[in-house]
Chains A and B, each alone.
Chain A
Amino acid sequence: MRYRKITKDNIHDHILVCLSSSPSNAKIIGTAAMMAKAFRAEFTALYVETPEEELMVEADKRRLAENIEYAKECGAVVTTVCGDDIALQITEFARISGVTKVVLGRSSVSRGGLIKKQSLTEKIIRLAPELDIHIIPDSSIEGKRRKKHIFSRKSLISLIKELAISALILGAASAIGFGFHYLGFTEDNVVTIYILAVLVTSVLIDSKICWALTSAAGVLLFNFFFTQPKFTFLAYDKGYPLTFIVMLMASLITGSIAARMKKQAKLSAQVAYRTQILLDTDQMLAKSKNADEILVVASKQVRKLTSRGVILYPTWNGTFGEALIFGDEEERIEEYINDDERAAAFRAYENNIQTGAPGSLYSAECMYFPIGIKDEVYGVIGVVPGKKADPFEQSIMVSIIGECALALENEKNIREKEEAAVRAENERLRADLLRAISHDLRTPLTSISGNAGNLLSNDSFFDEATRRQIYSDILDDSVWLISLVENLLSITRMGEGRAKINKTAELMSDVIDEALKHVNKRKTEHRIKVSLENELMLANMDARLIVQVIVNLVDNAIKYTDCGSTIEISAKQDNGKVLVSVSDNGYGIPDKMKEQIFDLFYVGDNNRSDSRRSLGLGLALCRSIVEAHGGRIWVEDNYPRGASFCFTLQTKEIEINE
């Protein structure tokens, strides 16, 4: 037992390897593949697309494609996610997909700048402490490679911009310094102005180089403008070099603290925003009643977040559905619904990967995100191209889609559970039914076959009266069997699913006439009266089933009342419904039985009728038939005596086609 459990756990292992354009990545993929094989685990290769993607050189792109290809060869399911925070994306993906082990390269660990930064591994551990992390040692040049690309065209422009800003601030600081000097303040005050300038610069700009340059420039400017001799880089006073060093240190430290605070504030604001949005999404998802609603909620949340048009391709039972659009008319989202876009979305659905967007694996105008967990994809959300893809926004989007997939999986699990419970219940009922029936079939069959056998072999010994008695016994028993079979057939008709009830407009008078044809004919010593409020009363029903209900109710009334009793069948319009009642003037039904009388196999302690003849089937069947028609069945006392069984049906008003 215990052993089995252990192996089972192993099967549920899920290994994740991260793809990159690094040349050593192939080795990591290979190791991870071997691990997956050894653990017999699921194997996924994840590629996190970052905003720096655009800066990638051709050789890197090619290597990345090779690595992706290699991962596929190793049997990995390749998935792409988008975002600037690689650690967050990895942990998010791991959480959604049930990843248990993450394989990383050593190179990913040693990334750090001037100021101590949390490594990728540390971050992942902080975000998802339950994950096993395997680090594969490798001597990579990744760090250098990344630095090489820092000065690309784009960052050069922003660097120049930031340099201009710092120059402006330094200029302003120098101007104020001159003002102070003019007012006769000492140089110490001017030093603080420069430190302030560095502080302001570090808040306004992001580049570390720029801010270090500003600190140095501040010191030099102070030297140039305010120390004796002025307008030279010389300093006469022996204390000045110390002042310069202190000033530089102070500038650097304040600057770095300010920059870090700024970054932290931005981060915590983002985290709060993200939490809020995800919380809202969760609440809305929890309120959704079915899979369609969940998909719509997710699409609307993505639309709200990105303010871009959203296209939803839902999937139903393995078929890729038609596109649904979320957005305004003027956005012309319809233009993005064509065969190419659909193909990209379908790729996303089929391979459970992100597709679309220029430069990605499968190109299309829109970006397509699969809503899926493991092998199951519930739909695809497409985002229309817009202003600028904000990586932070995109990472939230991925989280929303992940939540949506989780909600859909839950929904599916719950639905399957409910269906299984219903099936089990039906199975139980069927078994009970079979047991009860096969037991009760024996008695009439014994009587029929025994009597017939007697007639066959001993016919001449019986006198006329005995023979007649035997004939009538055979007939009685077979008639009983016929009515049982009719009820069983109705049960199977019902068992085929409530949705299958085929309702048509029927005349109540026809239905009652038909029912009376099937009522046990040998017991017509009862007076049966029919009173209809309106001859042309129509009701919506499956006629066969409702006939069975009336037959059962009338047969019951005949069975449990004395000969000569009156049975009245009436139908009338009541509050938009048809109220049918079968009343007798017999002994009535005690209150304590009224509740249970419609239960399956309820026989009661009625000794009036031959107990063997009751299975507790008829009334239970009546109830399920009436309820399947959306009606209600109950029993009440008849005035002045007897019982009255009533049920309701929906009326049908029709226009007459003359």
Chain B
Amino acid sequence: MNKPLILVVEDDPPVRNLITTTLKAHGYRYITAHNGNDALLEASTHNPDILLLDLGLYDIDGMEVIGKVRSWSEMPIIVISARSEDRDKIDALDAGADDYLTKPFSVEELLARIRVSQRRLNSSGNQSSGTVFVNGELKIDYAAGCAYIRGEELHLTPIEYKLLCLLSKNIGKVLTHTYITQKIWGSTWEKDVASLRVFMATLRKKLERAEGSTQFIQTHIGIGYRMIKVE
């Protein structure tokens, strides 16, 4: 498998060094940008596979970069933020980012996020038009409206099935509460967010019933959910 090209946008040199050293150590190809305008230039000329974007840039706002990149490319964007408020992350995700990392992050965490985006790249390449979705032991037959785990049919309520489809179609991407409730219920009441938590919990229980089974759905507290691509 070809190692992807990663564009690192970070204005702080030590953190940029940390990221590039890590990437080099793990055999990734990378290019760097120090500010938003450079980032847009690099992104358009080199067309990288993954974008690592620091939100706190000094020239243009990171959110603007996301918006511009999204206007021509679906490349996975991982946002790096030093702000502790959830709101920033949610806004970035709703603007089109796939994932987020909060400073301080560990090197392992960074690599894990990159791997998740990489898998999304690969899966979108070979599954884009299929009516059957396969993720490890999970199989969803969109045409038949059925989901199977280890070949066994799952008994899901209509809402659970809708949730599962929504997550699988956006595999690897963190979906915010607002996005999900909007898609499922068409509204974003607080009540819906609470119900969403319960539905997610029951859905996860059904998916991950067996002891030591793989985790399919990640919870991001205060932000949303994501389906992980299982190797």
Residues of A near any B CB (own CB < 8 A)? 478, 482, 485, 489, 504-507, 509-511, 513-514, 535-536, 538, 543-544, 547, 652, 654-658
Contacts and interface: CB of A to CB of B under 8 A. Distances in A.
A538 B195 CA distance: 10
Chain B residues touching A, majority SS: helix
Most buried by A among B104, B158, B205, B221: B221
Interface stretch (B4-12, B51-59, B185-193): B185-193
A650 to B, nearest CB: 13
B201 A504 contact: no
A514 B84 contact: no
Given A536-B202, A656-B198, A504 B221 contact: no
B141 interface: no
B201 A536 contact: yes
B163 to A, nearest CB: 12
Contact of A657 (B86, B104, B185, B221): B185
10 smallest CB-CB distances across A and B, nearest first, come from A505-B194, A514-B221, A654-B194, A510-B219, A543-B221, A507-B197, A543-B222, A489-B84, A657-B195, A656-B195
Interface of B: 84, 86, 104, 157-159, 185, 190-195, 197-199, 201-202, 205, 219, 221-222
B84 A509 contact: no
B191 A654 contact: yes
Contacts of B205: 535
B195 A654 contact: yes
Contact of A506 (B84, B159, B192, B197): B197
A510 B221 contact: yes
Contacts of B219: 507, 510, 513-514
B197 A535 contact: no
B197 A510 contact: yes
Given A482-B104, A535-B205, A654 B222 contact: no
B191 A657 contact: yes
A489 B192 CA distance: 29
B156 to A, nearest CB: 12
Most buried by A among B104, B157, B222: B222
Contacts of B198: 507, 536, 538, 654, 656
A652 B190 CA distance: 12
A538 B197 contact: yes
B178 to A, nearest CB: 12
A655 B222 contact: no
A544 B194 contact: no
A505 B194 CA distance: 5
Contacts of B199: 656
A514 B220 CA distance: 8
Nearest to A475: B106
A489 B159 CA distance: 37
A168 to B, nearest CB: 82
B166 to A, nearest CB: 16
B56 to A, nearest CB: 16
